[in-house]
A and B are shown apart, each in its own frame.
Chain A
């Protein structure tokens, strides 16, 4: 599929702020199933942008606005081409126990255990989604999450934990992803948090999908033909990731790949408005001469 993505974020400060430093993780990655053909970033006020790849390989764009200002806008545009990932193989658990799997999975195997109150509840989930194959387990987990938890905005926030989700019974895609990661890791499956854009087919049959923010899902390291492969899964939507999922980058959890992270100088509160628009393009229209 071909998409034109626009991610517009606007800040309004109630008093002028200065030295506004920001780090963006917004550019669609280039992977085996995805290609970013065009990308542009427009800032107002204007600023010089520097790029580097972070520890996990995600591209980070950084800039700073030194002089006092009362508004800031970050306008990201991109064109992406995605393809449907191959169907995951039905393989057993043997590969998962091997040293080569542990090496490939690395730190994504480590379950973050700090002070988890609902540990027993999580263990129960681990037991109930266990199937004969890791891929079936993954699918079962996707369904379980959607079954047991409601998609609800406003009850959790950027710093919420898995405990918060289990307490409240509701949350957003970020919370579902964190829970899914914990269950997968406790099951011995390496898993990473993915930040990106999701195109949800609009009900009116049109080609524009509008969301308020970026989307979060997971990638699990599953046994492959010869070596383990990373397979995307979207617990919020109870399905595996497909060509409608445009990946930006991954990490251990949300705080490794926040789309926008910023700090400014000034005692001011800010009003944030952000909008992600994805338009499905006719392949002919987006073909470059």
Chain B
């Protein structure tokens, strides 16, 4: 298929996944924050600060309300939820001939609601409802693409984008859950539990892991558990499969090979009982590797898709 279209599909997948996981992260930190002790105001600052930093958002001196508002509904904040949805909708608009009408309408409606008049009121009443709305609409998007899109290259690039972004966002969430230098175990465990719930994996964890949902087991679960579809390892494997299926020569494909190696690495590390400090390091390492996968993908499939021509008339 055309490189330009594949590029657009890949980014559509990424934006939808980014929107969903931003909503989950905001929801998670919001709830963890609510449950932390009120005397410990320093904690509140730390949670939001790290969130802002990890999302790449602007910082300055910021209160919880401000951070919440900015990351959810501020269209001028590149990392905000409303912005992710807007970007996804823009991509979908240029892809209207490729995606199904159902998928387009689902995204368009989501965008209209988030930019509509009622959303501010909902935020004041309780931001949880806004986050839930975005989570549900994302599920609708993936459900519709799974049912109404032909299982061809287009679906593969969409899937690959979504999975890579999911892995990346999950790694960011983990770094929020285990901030380096956080010594208080109870606080850390509490945050990890809240994030596990936010990621939607609490029930799955209970079924898979015969241990209490403390920081280390929870993080290991979200990193390594292949049977849990939203774990980093599962996301990496799905992305690898999607690209492998659509590449004409997967054995020679840099992104496929890199993903394959990453998947194997995660499977290998799973057998180790690594301790917390190493877990943080591993998360960062995997994130860096995913960034390289992104570059590999652009180099292999999207060459020229974003180049612009400059005209020069020489004298």
Within the complex, the shortest CB–CB distance from B187 to chain A, in Å, comes to 48
Q: How far is the CA of A120 from the CA of B308 in the complex (A)?
A: 43
Q: Which residue on chain A has the smallest CB distance to residue B309?
A: A265
Asked whether, in the complex, the Cβ of A258 is within 8 Å of the Cβ of B314, the reply is yes
Asked whether, in the complex, the Cβ of B307 is within 8 Å of the Cβ of A261, the reply is no
Q: How far is the CA of A266 from the CA of B309 in the complex (A)?
A: 6
Asked whether, in the complex, the Cβ of B315 is within 8 Å of the Cβ of A260, the reply is yes
Asked whether, in the complex, the Cβ of A270 is within 8 Å of the Cβ of B312, the reply is yes
Q: How far is the CA of A18 from the CA of B312 in the complex (A)?
A: 14
Contacts of B304 in A (CB 8 A): 265
Asked whether, in the complex, the Cβ of B313 is within 8 Å of the Cβ of A261, the reply is yes
Most A CB within 10 A of own CB, among B307, B308, B310: B310
Asked whether, in the complex, the Cβ of A264 is within 8 Å of the Cβ of B312, the reply is yes
Contacts of A213 in B (CB 8 A): 315
Contacts of A268 in B (CB 8 A): 310
Asked whether, in the complex, the Cβ of B314 is within 8 Å of the Cβ of A266, the reply is no
Within the complex, the shortest CB–CB distance from A255 to chain B, in Å, comes to 8
Asked whether, in the complex, the Cβ of A263 is within 8 Å of the Cβ of B315, the reply is no
Q: Is B37 at the interface (CB under 8 A from chain A)?
A: no
**A:230-289 near B, CB below 8 Å:** 258-270, 272, 274
**B:267-315 near A, CB below 8 Å:** 304, 307-315
Q: How far is the CA of A260 from the CA of B307 in the complex (A)?
A: 23
Asked whether, in the complex, the Cβ of A263 is within 8 Å of the Cβ of B311, the reply is yes
What interface size band does chain A fall in?
20 to 34
Q: Is A30 at the interface (CB under 8 A from chain B)?
A: no
Within the complex, the shortest CB–CB distance from A270 to chain B, in Å, comes to 6
Q: How far is the CA of A262 from the CA of B315 in the complex (A)?
A: 10
Q: Is A9 at the interface (CB under 8 A from chain B)?
A: yes
Asked whether, in the complex, the Cβ of A263 is within 8 Å of the Cβ of B312, the reply is yes
Asked whether, in the complex, the Cβ of A266 is within 8 Å of the Cβ of B312, the reply is no
Asked whether, in the complex, the Cβ of B315 is within 8 Å of the Cβ of A266, the reply is no
Q: Which residue on chain B has the smallest CB distance to residue A263?
A: B311
Q: How far is the CA of A263 from the CA of B307 in the complex (A)?
A: 13
Within the complex, the shortest CB–CB distance from A221 to chain B, in Å, comes to 27
Q: Is A158 at the interface (CB under 8 A from chain B)?
A: yes
Within the complex, the shortest CB–CB distance from A253 to chain B, in Å, comes to 13
- The listed residue (A214, A262, A274) touching B312 by CB distance below 8 A is A262
**B:78-120 near A, CB below 8 Å:** none
Contacts of A17 in B (CB 8 A): 310
Contacts of A265 in B (CB 8 A): 304, 307-310
- The listed residue (B307, B311, B314) touching A18 by CB distance below 8 A is B307
Asked whether, in the complex, the Cβ of B310 is within 8 Å of the Cβ of A261, the reply is no
Contacts of A262 in B (CB 8 A): 312-314
Asked whether, in the complex, the Cβ of A264 is within 8 Å of the Cβ of B313, the reply is no
Q: How far is the CA of A261 from the CA of B312 in the complex (A)?
A: 7
Q: How far is the CA of A18 from the CA of B309 in the complex (A)?
A: 9
Q: Which residue on chain A has the smallest CB distance to residue B314?
A: A260
Within the complex, the shortest CB–CB distance from A197 to chain B, in Å, comes to 14
Q: Which residue on chain A has the smallest CB distance to residue B306?
A: A267
Contacts of B309 in A (CB 8 A): 19, 263-266
Asked whether, in the complex, the Cβ of A9 is within 8 Å of the Cβ of B310, the reply is no
Q: Which residue on chain B has the smallest CB distance to residue A267?
A: B308
Q: How far is the CA of A9 from the CA of B314 in the complex (A)?
A: 9
Q: Which residue on chain B has the smallest CB distance to residue A268?
A: B310
Contacts of A158 in B (CB 8 A): 313, 315
Contacts of B312 in A (CB 8 A): 262-264, 270
Q: How far is the CA of A183 from the CA of B230 in the complex (A)?
A: 77
7 tightest A-B contacts by CB?
A260-B314, A265-B307, A265-B309, A263-B311, A261-B313, A262-B312, A158-B313
A to B CB contacts below 8 Å, 11 in the list = A18-B307, A22-B314, A214-B315, A258-B314, A259-B315, A261-B313, A261-B314, A262-B312, A264-B312, A266-B307, A266-B310
